[in-house]
Amino acid sequence: DDDIHIVFSTDCSGYQNWQAEALAYSALMVGQQGHITRIVSNCPDDADFAMMRRSSYPNYHVHITPKFSLDEGREYFPYYNKPLGVDHWIKNAVPAVSQSVVVLLDPDMVFVQPIRPDGVKNKDYILYTGHRKKSEVSDAVREGHPVGQQYLIGSGWVNFKRDLICGPGSPCTTVSHDTANEHYA
């Protein structure tokens, strides 16, 4: 199914060039469908963009972003690359993003099986450690029901300044630790 677009964010370092191609090659080896886009940020003027665009994966794209700094006059901050890079890609991608499923990976990941919008074929492969019955957990993506992998931060983000991050009155400001761990960790 070609209705999936996999994206990941990197800088221009040789190390992340290597990671990008390892990810792309593993996608090719498992028969991953759809497009893969590498979002590249913080590049020097003499970066080898032609080399970055070469890949073993046939539907591979590279999207170059500007350097990101939210505060004028402040130093570059690398952790802005992923959220602002993805935002820049969605707003400026050529061709425009038209797939109904977008998968956000890290560059150090590799594929061991294809990612499918309708989930894995063998549901025994779903690792779930929450409080719901495993039969109630779905790995199929549909509108209003994103799918994600547990992240080591857990519910720690509940202690962040959510009014500042999400905006006053945002639903994210009322999420409890239990709900965060079950649905957003």
**Cα 20 off chain centre by:** 13
Concatenate the DSSP letters of all residues of 66-102 into one string.
----SSTTPPP-GGGHHHHHHHHHHHH-SSPP--SEE
Look at residue 69 in the predicted model and tell me its pLDDT: 65
Look at residue 68 in the predicted model and tell me its pLDDT: 74
Structure tokens at 45: 């003027």
In whole angstroms, give the CA distance from residue 24 to residue 22: 6
pLDDT of 75 higher than 80: no
Look at residue 73 in the predicted model and tell me its pLDDT: 63
Report helix, strand and coil shares of the chain as percent, to nearest 5: 35, 15, 50
User: Please, are residues 157 and 183 in contact by the beta-carbon 8 Å criterion?
Assistant: no
Residues whose CB is less than 8 angstroms from the CB of residue 128 and which lie 6 or more positions away in sequence, other chains included: 134, 137
In whole angstroms, give the CA distance from residue 168 to residue 174: 11
More confident residue, 102 or 67: 102
pLDDT of 179 higher than 90: no
Instruction: Taking residues 71-100, report their average pLDDT.
Output: 83
Look at residue 77 in the predicted model and tell me its pLDDT: 66
Confidence at 180, pLDDT banded by 50, 70, 90: confident
Q: Alpha helix locations (H) across 10-151?
A: 14-30, 49-53, 81-92
Instruction: Taking residues 105-113, report their average pLDDT.
Output: 93
Structure tokens at 101: 């499923």
Structure tokens at 64: 């170059």
